[in-house]
Structure 1
Amino acid sequence: MQRVVKILKVVLPILIVAFLGYIYLSFNHAKTPHRKEPADGETSARPGDKSVAKSEKFHDVQTIGGRVVMEIAATRVVAFESRWNTLEGVSMTIYRANGLTYQLSCPNAEFNSDTKESNAKGGVKLVSSDGVEIHTAEIHFDGNRLTNDIPVQFRIDRWNGNAGALDLDVAGETLKLSKQVTAAMTPAQPNEVPMTLQGAESIFHRRENTVTFNNAVEMNRGPEHVKADFVIGRFTQDHSRLIGLDGNGNVNIVMSGNPAPGEDLGGRKEIFCDNFNTEVGPDGQIAAINARGAATQAHAILDGPPKRDIVAWTFRVALANRAVHELKADTQVVMKELGPAPRDVKAEHVTVNFNPATHRASSAYLEGGFHYTDPKNTASAFRANYDIDGDRILLTTDPGWQATVVSDGNVLKAKQIEFSPRAQTARATGSVIAELASKGKQPTVSADATNLFPAGKPVYVNSDELMMRQANRVAVFTGNVRAWQESNTLLANEMQVTGGGDQITAKGNVRTLLYNTGDPKRTVPVKSTSDQMIARKNDRRIDLTGNVSIVDTPRTLKSEKAAFFFDDNKKIQRIEAENNVNVADGTTQRKGTGDKAVYQVDKKMIYVSGSPATMTDPSGSIAGQQIVFDLTRNRVQVVSPSEETKGTYKHSG
């Protein structure tokens, strides 16, 4: 395109002016054998203007230092009293010192010797030896500007183009083409992509090495397509290479929208913005596009599946081998993933990376006020790494802050959370805080309204790590686990919640504090420790195994196994223990042993049985098949229906 500027701005006016001026001077001062006076003094070329001289078959060759520099010919030359001169069958060749030649021809021309104004008519043609060819019906030169208001066609090397009008400021070296300008570059190599540019008008600034297109500008280059109100191209000083392309006003940029047959560029990528500029690599190819919003945010649409709709104030799209390999969006970014399960992602800065093989979005890094939303989940953090292919999102924060995920009503907070929306899994590490609650009709992992946590309120859990599988309704907490609801508390090394609290399992140094007894005046909990605990919601029981110790102040029950049983109101009804049972009452200093014990909490009765069951206190000892502790009456009863009762116990009552 810059060679078009060079020819139209410099060579063409020089040729026309030099040619017409030289013919005039040659005609008036050279004594040619063909010169003669006109017969009637008037010709049809200029009605009303009287001819004063005429020449047929004009031809001349000019040399400088023995080198031919110009050859001029015309079939007819007429001079008029008005100082206008007409020429017919015009042709001229200029021979430049660098070896190039320029040939100009037209059927008719006229030149004013006083004003230097001239016109070439009837079809002007300019051809150069280095591949330049320009056609137009006529051109007018007023001494400063070369203009016409009719179509101009040109071919410059690989470029072919046309325009509806021409206006060239010779002194200012500025060319304006208008009335719909179109230029097309044909490929030089089999794998090269053709490019076309068009607009309502274009202006070539040779001194500034720029070309501007105005009004409804369009550029097409294979899979790329650009529309804008204004586009400016910047070139190197020798005009051989594009170094930048800028544009503004209703900009629409399409990338990978029209791939070659059999070519997969990962689907269409489209940007709408107020202005843009390009970054051009050393090879002259566009390496990146920077798009910006002014009155409104810029807007990008990426083909899917799923289709992504992104708004931001600025975009940078990096290109490699005609395909997008990175997209950066900055300031108030919102990325929407459309489809059956739509997702919204917000952040201050977003970088989307594309798979080099498929050219589709494969991952994203999001930083600054990250927020995520889909029909089932919400999440927030300072930053996130989004594995698009693997459907995993890793949330991280700065010290003093926590990442948060809310899934089906459950709230999860931690220093780091990795979750998969589609697989409905979440892994949290570092100062984990979880809120488990059943909300609505959607089944979810929850622990409220159970025997362990009886109130219909959220259960809160602290731990070092958490693995949650929402699809299977399983949550596993590990490391320094603490779960609580109001005053009821569970501590353990590990806790697993299944379903809506259908089963809660705890392992490793398990401790519980239970306040849900039938005594409304109770102010201290029933405490327990064990190696393992299993709470079954439907069975209305909690099972403890391994080094079991249950404290209902002032009494303690120890065994290898024990179970809490609850009534319909989820109040502790009784406790059953077996294997190496020991019962101790701190107030009465009574101690009992046996194989099994049943503690009727609501009736304040303890039944210890064994072979034998024993009881000791300061008053003595006793053994039998069953010993009954009546806590309300402070009495002990021995029941041995088939064996002898033994002991030294002295009853004081």
Structure 2
Amino acid sequence: MSSMRGWQRPTRVAIGLFIIVFGATVFFAVRERAPVEDLSLNEQLDPEAVMESTEAVVTQAKGDVRDMTVEAERQLTYEDGSTRLVTVRVAVERGESDRNFVITGKEAAIGEDNQTIEIFGEVHLETVDGLVIDTEQAHYGETENLLQMEGSVTFSRGRLSGSSVGAIYDEGRALLRLLSQARVLMEVGPGGSVDATSDTASMSQNEDWILFEQNVRIDQEGQLTAAETVLAYFDETTSTLQQVELRGGGSITSKTGHSAKFEEMQAQEIDLLYGEPDGVLRHASLRENASIKMKGEAGETGQRVSGQLIDVSFGPDGDLLTNLDVQGGVYVELPTDTQRPAQRILAGVMSTVGNEKEGLTEAAFTNNVEYREVSTEASVESRVVRLIRSTRLETSLRGGIGIIENARFIGSVVFEDLAVDRLVESDTLETVLAGGSDGIQKAHFAGNVRFRDGATEAVSETAIYDVSAGMIKLQQAETSGRPARVVDTRSSVEAASIDLLMNGAGLKASGGVTSILTAPENEGEEAASQPKMPGLVSSDDPVYVTSDDLLYDGKTGLALYTGHARLWQGETTVQANSIELDERTADLKASGAARSTFILEEINPATEELEAATTIASANNMHYEEEFRRTTYTDTAHVNGPYGDLTAAKVEMYMGETRGSMDRAEAYETVKLLLNRRIATGGRLTYFTDSGRYVMHGTPVQILEDMITECRETLGQTLTFFRAIETITVDGNGEVRTQSIRTEMCPEPQFN
């Protein structure tokens, strides 16, 4: 940088020369002249001049050393003591060669007090180290030690050049100030050319910097820089930028087609560092309302990162980002298009990991992390439709430009779908943030998962929320074995795995299913539209169901329990290979080795008092129909209760108006009834609970009675008998038992 310093300091001495030359204490030495042949040179230029001379040479010396020489074709001196020089050349010579310079001009005028000097017409300054300044008028005042230039000013030195309207050189500070319409050009090597403009600018020789002020614009090989104030440090040899400081609201924008991965950087203050010797941007520090916007891929807006402090590092080419750290009010806008919601990340701190080959590869967010999805539909007011909060967020990045893809939220995770009142809480959450048409498509939750969808709540160790499918898959803990659990206003389900559809659309549970059902609390019209419980159970107490698997369809209201299915409430039980509950009709179906146990209230014939008695039934299939209050057993039906031991191809039990009561029972095909020591067989049997009456039809109906010492057999088309009395009615005619067939041993019943 030292080679540029020579063009500034000598100016003070050069201008001071004129004061010394014409001061009272100045030493003048005028060289000898050859005889002048051309008499025209002796013609007086200015009638007011009291003295004129030609080819004047004035030398100033400090001690025995000459340091300045002034040459002029003519010198005019006036009565007031002022002096005017024509075709002036001022040479300043210092002990150090890099401080020597020459000023030339058409004319020069020295003030009356010998304190000021004006140079007019094609003013040209050139230093030994290559600085050149051209203007039309220059003014020097010894008191201020300032060289002032009016009008158009141009300058150059090596690869550095520029212009302005008006300029001032401050001798004491070795500072050149460009007063208006300042422009500086740098022809640099690999870093490209630099074209900077501003209202004013200041250039320091000693420290090799340029200060641009007001409306600063810098164009450098595909990048545009703007700010109110820019301080640029450069290399004096190559003129390449080394460091640039932007103040008062700065921005750096990459032009269309430029290879840089960022589109724009903005901040109240920006510091830029450039690599040596190529002058390529390697680091940027942005402070106060800082932001950096990446270039987007086809059809997408680029990712934008903002915060109070942003620290960016670039690879050797100045294009690829290798580090991006943000502090204070971190706000990230993910790439988006018109087809999906806008995605945002908020945090206190953001840090990244990257390398010079791949660019940015990872990012981490800490301190009150929030992820937001904002609706961009024209018909919908802009609002947050999805929100995730956590202590920390770790992400993977792609494309070398910081596009966030895979994300892992850690610590006190809260996931909310605000548009549908849906919430998930967990220790961690893993998801993919980029590429979905509707934002997040799938989210993996782990550790103490809690889920809420309207009135439905769930807990599990892990969960996978498939947003596009509208389903969350809940999994039990592997270590503790704690099952996943779903609860709504009327039921709960526990299982190793539960696939829960949103908005009550249904669920699928597998592995040790346990379900608890309760009746709705509403009454009247509201109750009519609510899920219903079978009349076999009480609405006052919960019903329990276990099975291997459960499939519930919210649209049809069908719940299918399969694999070792068992339903119970108190002493009432139903078990089968599968049990189906219809919550719309309150029907129940049990299929495959169905078996049920009911407590029915009946009048004891002996005591004539109401007593509770157990009824056990089995069949391959069981079907309870709430509309008819009928339970049907088919395919090898077997019912055992206080009214006897009954088998048939099909048995129907009609319940009474109150739970626990039965109006009648119907048996069809190959009916066989065992009642005390009586065996009745036939084609159909009807039992009336209120009278204890049995009516059996068949071809024939057979009743065998074991009398211990003998057997009585009664045959007929229709037999009617009662639990409490011995009378049997055959074909509608009363007939005493003595008319029945008596044998020592009872024959085999017609149905075994």
TM-score by length of 2: 0.70
Cα deviation, residue 278, structure 1: 4.3
Q: Deviations over 1:559-605 (max 9, x none)?
A: 222121222113123323232222224xx543333333334445444
- Seen in structure 2, the aligned counterparts of structure 1 residues 534 and 242 have a Cα distance that, compared at 3 Å, is closer
Q: Quick check: 2:7–2:127 contact (8 Å CA) kept in 1?
A: no
What residue in structure 1 maps to residue 22 of structure 2? none
Alpha-carbon displacement from aligned partner over 1:216-249 (angstroms, at most 9, x marks no partner): 2244456233432222222347756432222222
Find the residue that maps to 1:17 and give its secondary structure: helix
> Residue 217 of structure 2 aligns with which residue?
153
Equivalent residue pairs, number? 610
Deviation, 1:537, is 1.3
Q: Does 1:180 align with 2:249?
A: yes
Could you list the runs of 5+ residues in structure 1 that have no partner in the other structure? Answer: 1-9, 63-68, 96-100
CA RMSD of aligned residues (A): 4.2
Alignment of 1:177-576 (within 5 A): 177-188=246-257, 195-204=263-272, 210-221=283-294, 223=301, 224-236=303-315, 241-256=320-335, 264=338, 266-278=340-352, 290-292=364-366, 294=367, 296-303=368-375, 307-316=385-394, 325-339=405-419, 341-353=420-432, 356=435, 358=437, 360-399=439-478, 400-407=481-488, 409-422=490-503, 424-439=505-520, 440=522, 441=526, 443-448=529-534, 450=535, 452-518=536-602, 522=611, 525-552=614-641, 555-570=644-659, 571-576=661-666
Structure 1 residue aligned with 2:55: none
The 10-residue stretch of structure 1 (323-332 or 224-233) with the greater mean CA deviation from structure 2: 323-332
Q: 1:265 to 1:565 in 2, by over 3 A?
A: closer
Q: What is the percentage of aligned positions where both structures have the same residue?
A: 14
Name the amino acid aligned to 1:213.
L
For residues 229 and 48 of structure 1, the distance between their equivalents in structure 2, rounded to whole angstroms, comes to 57
Residues 324 and 359, structure 1, Cα contact 8 Å, conserved in 2: no
Letter in 2 for 1:70: G
Distance 2:678 2:490 in 1: 49
Contact 2:687–2:693 (CA<8 Å) still a contact in 1? yes
Q: 1:389 to 1:282 in 2, by over 3 A?
A: farther
Provide the rounded CA distance (Å) in 1 between the counterparts of 2:641 and 2:216: 104
Q: Structure 2: which amino acid aligns with 1:504?
A: L
Q: Could you tell me whether the CA contact under 8 Å between 2:559 and 2:580 is conserved in 1?
A: yes
Counterpart amino acid of 2:680?
G
Which residue in 1 is equivalent to 2:227?
A: 163
Aligned to 2:201: 138
Alignment partner of 2:741 out of 619, 623, 647:
647
Structure 2 counterpart of 1:622: 713
SS at match of 1:164: strand
Within the candidate set 662, 669, 678, 1:590 is matched to 678
Counterpart for residue 169 of structure 2? 110
**Which string of whole-angstrom CA distances, capped at 9 and with x for unpartnered residues, describes residues 485-538 of structure 1?**
221101111111123453211111111110032358756511111111111112
* Aligned match for 2:671, one of 558, 577, 581: 581
CA shift digits 1:309-332 (9 cap, x unpaired): 222233345565687644443322
Letter in 2 for 1:596: R
| Distance change >3 Å, CA 36–CA 248, structure 1 → 2 | farther
Provide the C-alpha distance between the structure 1 equivalents of 2:257 and 2:414, rounded to a whole number of angstroms.
Answer: 42
Q: Would you say the 8 A contact 2:396–2:405 is kept in 1?
A: yes
Kindly indicate whether residue 154 of structure 2 is the aligned counterpart of residue 86 of structure 1.
no
The alpha-carbon deviation at position 269 of structure 1 amounts to: 1.4
Pairwise CA distance, 1:44: 11
Q: Which residue of 1 aligns with 2:132?
A: 72
CA contact (8 A) 1:530 1:549 kept: yes
Deviation at 1:468, TM superposition (A): 1.0
Query: SS where residue 518 of structure 1 aligns?
Result: strand
Contact 2:8/2:205 (8 A) holds in 1: no
- The whole-number CA distance in structure 2 between the counterparts of 1:408 and 1:44 is 102
Distance 2:155 2:3 in 1: 8
Q: Which structure has the greater CA radius of gyration?
A: 2
Question: Which residue of 164, 170, 183 maps to 1:125?
Answer: 183
1:343/1:240 CA distance change after superposition, 3 Å = closer
SS of 2:8's equivalent in the other structure is helix
Residue 469 to residue 86, structure 1, CA distance change in 2 (3 Å)? same
SS at match of 2:5: helix
Change (3 A) 1:349 1:373: same
Gaps (5+ residues) in structure 2?
18-66, 85-107, 236-241, 276-280, 296-300, 378-383, 604-608, 745-752
Distance 1:463 1:160 in 2: 70
How many Å apart are 1:612 and its aligned residue? 3.1
CA contact (8 A) 1:510 1:533 kept: yes
Larger displacement relative to structure 2 (472-481 or 235-244): 235-244
CA deviation string 1:396-450 (max 9, x = no partner): 11242222223452222211111222571211111111223331336454434x1
CA contact (8 A) 2:110 2:116 kept: no
Call closer, same or farther: CA 1:481–1:608 in 2, change over 3 Å.
same
Contact 1:41 1:52 in 2 (8 A): no
The question of whether the paired residues in 2 share the 8 Å contact of 1:624 and 1:640 is answered with no
Amino acid across the alignment from 1:557? L
CA–CA separation in structure 2 for the residues paired with 1:627 and 1:526: 24
Paired residues of 2:82 and 2:114 also in contact (CA < 8 A): no
Comparing 431-440 with 534-543, which one deviates more in the overlay?
Answer: 431-440
Assess, with a 3 A threshold, how the Cα gap between structure 1 residues 274 and 198 changes in structure 2: closer, same or farther.
Answer: same
1:471 counterpart SS class: coil
The DSSP-based 3-state class of the residue aligned with 1:179 is strand
Q: Could you say if the C-alpha distance between residues 44 and 409 of structure 1 is closer, same or farther in structure 2, counting changes exceeding 3 Å?
A: farther
Structure 2 counterpart SS, 1:70: coil
Instruction: Give 1:170 deviation, angstroms.
Output: 9.1
Report the Cα distance in structure 1 between the residues aligned to 2:326 and 2:579, rounded to whole angstroms: 61
Distance 1:461 1:245 in 2: 56
Give the letter for the 1:184 counterpart.
T
> 3-state SS of the aligned residue for 1:648?
strand
